[in-house]
Structure 1
Amino acid sequence: MKQTILSIQPADNVWVALQDIPAGTTLTIGAQTITTLQAIAAKHKVTATDIPKDGAITMYGVLVGLANEDLPAGTLITTKNIRHASGQFAVSENRKTNWTPPDVSAWRDRTFMGYHRTDGRVGTGNYWVIIPLVFCENRNVQLLHEVLTKQLGYQRQHPYENMLQGLLADFKAGKTTSTKDFTETVITPTRTFPNIDGIKLLTHTMGCGGTKDDARTLCGLLAGYITHPNVAGATVLSLGCQNAQIAMLKEEIEKRVPGFDRTVIYLEQQQAGSEKALMTMAIQQTFEGLSKANQQERKPAPLSKLCIGMECGGSDGFSGISANPAVGLVADKLIALGGSVILSEFPELCGVEQELSDRCINTTLAAKYVQLMRDYASSAEAVGSGFDSNPSAGNIRDGLITDAIKSAGAAKKGGSSPVTDVIDYPGRVQHPGLALLCTPGSDVESTTAEVGAGATVVLFTTGLGTPTGNPITPVIKLSTNSKLAARMPDIIDIDTGSIIEGSSTLEQMSDRLLELVIATASGTYKTKAQELGQDDFIPWKRGISL
């Protein structure tokens, strides 16, 4: 029989409904029995004890809220009867870094097929990127991208074109149609360069008009993409007079990979003159660069060369008990194999700061993490907001009532290993192990940042459904519940709802996930986001997003 109710930690005083529970239902966990006073929808929480006004609400063993009124046992918690609250945190001399790695003997000799770079990293793809150094060049890079993808075999005919052709035929024949069936046959053209996985466009709205720090930060992010192991080479178009200068970008590239040796083409419109002159140089030089990059082929690499970004978006009340802990087990296994993992979304680590700080391998890293969290919270408060504003309407509707409830579940994506690095945006992963990367909770901005930091695969959990992808790094989408996987099969790669239903364990699911990661990294599995061409890229303009 499917389980009805769950207590995540023995000390928690609220339980999670695993299915819809009518009012007046008697629920028992261990020696504790309650009767629901209202109907409890699946994913929502019910008080397991009497909680007085201003009393603490605990989930995942941490403070996640305070009661606005007396809450008898069996009460549905809502945004009206509880408010956000989280525990205090500080750097402690007590390091909690003793860790028993999971058994990874079955994975020790496994490999993936990747692109080996001279800096020692291994890519899961081989992409050429076209980048505007300032938003003024967006039109030119879009034109360059259109010409190259169309003529070199990267532009597929979309099935919706077939539908429109049918509608046009009916229109010309004088017929009126409200709906039109269409074939989903997609003709994939032959690529001129078979070892180039794609030509990708990184348009943005920055590069000038902001602060000099904004320009430097943008150049740092773009340098992270240009030097990324999934990138074969790059074409950069500059206007010439903007804040984000070519020299600044070159400095940021050198910081990340000294002596960087992949092809980067720099062209400046104000020096080239006419559009024709600029585009002629861009097309000729990019074609030559693609021809050279096409010579590289996939070769075996150990799993220690993988860097996985952990991300969530459109989270629900099941995220913290199905997909996120399953991803956390993958993190632990990869780290035990010598790989790297990125946990980001700092507003969604609110309430677990002490745990993560204590897991840092030394107090220097712990202090850096604590300071970044405090600075971020202060900057949000300075513009009249705060971390408590992070949960979206969809999050709240599906059981994530406070930011601390959302955060305590989100943090499960990071597993249980020690924290080996703390990185400020737009920095880069330099060490194996678990790295904390300062980003907003906004999933596209955070995914963009994780890839800029070096993630070669992203595991993205969602309970409500979000199509987020990335231009150069495959994003594997995990549904937290089976209803979502059935409703939106075109965006979900793997369904972890079987954990809620009791038909699979976290351990079994983590093994399935790691197999999918290997297939994706080897290019033998294309993620749903890749198939859809979901190439999301949004740089974080610091201080604006939660």
Structure 2
Amino acid sequence: MAKTAQPYSQIDTRDNIIVAIQNLPKNTLVHIVGKEFSLVEDIKQKHKFALHDFKVGDEIVMYGVLVGKAIQPIERGAAITTENIEHASAEFNPEQSKYEWTQPDVSKFKDRTFNGYHRADGSVGTRNYWLVIPLVFCENRNIDVVRDALMEALGYQTNKDYSVDTPKLIEAYKSGATAEDLMETSIVHTREEIVKNRLFPNVDGIKFLKHDGGCGGIRQDSETLCRLLAGYITNSNVAGATILSLGCQNAQMEMLQKAISEKDSDFQKPVYYLEQQQIGNERKFIETAVKKTFIGLAGADKITRKPAALDKLILGLECGGSDGFSGISCNPALGYASDLLTTLGGSPVLSEFPELNGVEQELINRCREKEDAEKFAHIMKRYAQRAEDVGSGFKNNPSPGNIKDGLITDAIKSAGAAKKGGTSPVVSVLDYTEKVTKPGLNLLCTPGNDVESTTGLAGSGCNMIVFTTGLGTPTGNPVAPVLKMSSNTTLFKRMNDIIDINAGTVITGEDTISSMGEKILEEIILVASGEKEAKAVLQNQNDFIPWKRGISL
């Protein structure tokens, strides 16, 4: 779809429902695909209307795939609603059809680089963070104490536009300053001043990964947690870590160390393991944690940014708070950027498996290896069955906000969400916490829950994430910069404090999918190089929720 300046649009030539690009009143005369008819009711912007009459049981097609079935007769020109259609999606199997891919033109990016942090394992980070991690929820309070001791003192408490330097006022008072002198003393520092005056200027931040796991529940939960934490520690955006353990919990330090070695057999980053029950005295435990972290920060500060090829980018593809425009503007534009990155040797990662419902066969056909096609089919069927077993199902995926904005079945939502993955072949299918190792499009099993999914993307190695949204969401991640992109201009203007990129220009016809995709890649390069900061980072949005592998849609 090149332009959508007209008030309605057919997204795929196989579609039998039409998208309203703007509010359309009853009796609007529609001219589309050689047909002429009048709308029989008002159609809200982003919602769909029937291209022809439907009988009960007729298939509803959008994005060229089955997205629902009529449960009552629908007149041509009538709105498609939750009252007249129900969720339906195509069957799939591991057998593959032939798939051919035409690479996009990447001449604009052929010799481009980004400035990143080169690691011993050959990966390159877009940021240089130090992690402080509790192995069990019992240590969360101690994590807070360590954070309070380090963040503001070292200049990392930058979630506000300014800070008040009360210690400076105290020192002036102790030095004999008069009331007049105190009033003249400058004690307010801007964010820019704080960052500029950091003791460790090459360390982008200290991140604290608090969670509610590590003990209780089933042992597999702790094993999964350790694999996830190992993914964060081995992520290219991380210089090292301080680990706080109680000592008696299920998630033992040896379990974490084993998970790290499985991800990187020649692991060389500094990691300090501290066990409270061995050290004993809490004050000594905290003191040791602060000192070890300080020493780690001093070492991490010696690493500086250097040029790296774009093939070192591992890009997480995420969406949340989707609307009826997500699948025709921001998602396909991100998909084009994904194809550009794949052609350049990078690794885009498509997640949220519940939101691939209905497009499974297309993705199976795109798998290069038969083993990956079989693995993807197995994971999807197992996931769907587990959802059914607890009385739910993928059909329950759309949220009230999705439905209100035109995504009335999971298949409609999924078909639009899958556009983030572009059209390139699938080189690998990964289960949750498995590491991205192959260049090209990877599929990663995560739930549709925004934070659980972005948490998983970073845990599998993503050093950047682009998050598309039609309704707005403040989600971020502790280690991977999250660029937020809106599907429509109204949202971009209304929530400009948290949205980085506006894909609404595709809806108005100012941009094509390809031109918007190129703009996205340019923005990724700027942020990856540290020349520009993602608004999620500026807002201190460090969302971290491990998935316990229960059913989460």
Using structure 1 for the length normalisation, give the TM-score.
0.94
Does the aligned pair in 1 maintain the 2:158–2:538 contact within 8 Å? no
User: Structure 2 residue aligned with 1:353, among 355, 360, 384?
Assistant: 360
**2:135 matched to which residue of 1?**
133
**1:122 matched to which residue of 2?**
124
For residues 110-151 of structure 1, the C-alpha deviation after alignment (integer angstroms, 9 at most, x for no partner) is 000000011111000000011010111001112112211122
User: Structure 2 residue aligned with 1:12, among 8, 12, 15?
Assistant: 15
**2:542 matched to which residue of 1?**
535
Residues 1:208 and 2:218 aligned together = no
Matching residue's letter, 1:147? A
Report deviation, 1:236: 0.6
**2:29 matched to which residue of 1?**
26
Matching residue's letter, 1:149? M
Matching residue's letter, 1:313? G
The 3 A distance-change label for structure 1 pair 54 and 160 is farther
Report deviation, 1:307: 0.6
Which structure 1 residue ranges, 4+ long, deviate > 3 Å from structure 2? 159-162, 183-188
When the two structures are aligned, how many residues end up with a matched partner? 525
Matching residue's letter, 2:331? N
1:63 alignment partner, SS class: strand
The 3 A distance-change label for structure 1 pair 524 and 26 is same
Does the aligned pair in 1 maintain the 2:485–2:500 contact within 8 Å? yes
Does the aligned pair in 1 maintain the 2:236–2:461 contact within 8 Å? yes
The aligned runs of 1:391-406 (5 Å cut-off) are 391-406=398-413
Report deviation, 1:322: 0.1
**1:45 matched to which residue of 2?**
48
**2:327 matched to which residue of 1?**
320
Say which is worse superposed, 515-524 or 145-154, in terms of deviation: 145-154
Report deviation, 1:92: 1.3
Q: Distance in 2 between matches of 1:311 and 1:304?
A: 20
2:140 alignment partner, SS class: helix
Q: Distance in 2 between matches of 1:496 and 1:236?
A: 41
Matching residue's letter, 2:129? Y
Matching residue's letter, 2:150? L
Does the aligned pair in 2 maintain the 1:380–1:543 contact within 8 Å? no
**1:249 matched to which residue of 2?**
256
Aligned identity (percent) is: 55
Does the aligned pair in 1 maintain the 2:162–2:191 contact within 8 Å? no
Residues 1:142 and 2:144 aligned together = yes
**2:80 matched to which residue of 1?**
77
Does the aligned pair in 2 maintain the 1:157–1:187 contact within 8 Å? no
Matching residue's letter, 1:316? D
Residues 1:385 and 2:387 aligned together = no
State the superposition RMSD in angstroms: 1.4
Using structure 2 for the length normalisation, give the TM-score.
0.93
**1:178 matched to which residue of 2?**
none
User: Structure 2 residue aligned with 1:473, among 439, 457, 480?
Assistant: 480
The 3 A distance-change label for structure 1 pair 352 and 497 is same
Which segments of 5 or more consecutive residues in structure 2 lack a partner in the other structure? 165-187
Q: Distance in 2 between matches of 1:545 and 1:481?
A: 28
The 3 A distance-change label for structure 1 pair 474 and 192 is same
Q: Distance in 1 between matches of 2:219 and 2:159?
A: 42
**1:179 matched to which residue of 2?**
none
Q: Distance in 2 between matches of 1:396 and 1:192?
A: 49
1:151 alignment partner, SS class: coil
2:108 alignment partner, SS class: coil
User: Structure 2 residue aligned with 1:275, among 261, 273, 282?
Assistant: 282
2:152 alignment partner, SS class: helix
The 3 A distance-change label for structure 1 pair 185 and 290 is closer
Matching residue's letter, 2:298? S
Does the aligned pair in 2 maintain the 1:380–1:387 contact within 8 Å? yes
The aligned runs of 1:276-315 (5 Å cut-off) are 276-315=283-322
**1:177 matched to which residue of 2?**
none
**2:380 matched to which residue of 1?**
373
Residues 1:65 and 2:68 aligned together = yes
Report deviation, 1:37: 1.1
Report deviation, 1:511: 1.2
Does the aligned pair in 2 maintain the 1:99–1:418 contact within 8 Å? yes
Q: Distance in 1 between matches of 2:510 and 2:345?
A: 31
User: Structure 2 residue aligned with 1:236, among 238, 243, 246?
Assistant: 243
Q: Distance in 1 between matches of 2:76 and 2:52?
A: 4
User: Structure 2 residue aligned with 1:109, among 92, 99, 111?
Assistant: 111
1:295 alignment partner, SS class: coil
Report deviation, 1:186: 4.6
1:406 alignment partner, SS class: helix
Does the aligned pair in 2 maintain the 1:95–1:362 contact within 8 Å? no
Does the aligned pair in 1 maintain the 2:159–2:539 contact within 8 Å? no
Q: Distance in 2 between matches of 1:34 and 1:397?
A: 26
The 3 A distance-change label for structure 1 pair 404 and 184 is farther
Which segments of 5 or more consecutive residues in structure 1 lack a partner in the other structure? 163-182
Matching residue's letter, 2:399? S
Report deviation, 1:244: 0.6
Matching residue's letter, 1:482? T
Matching residue's letter, 1:237? L
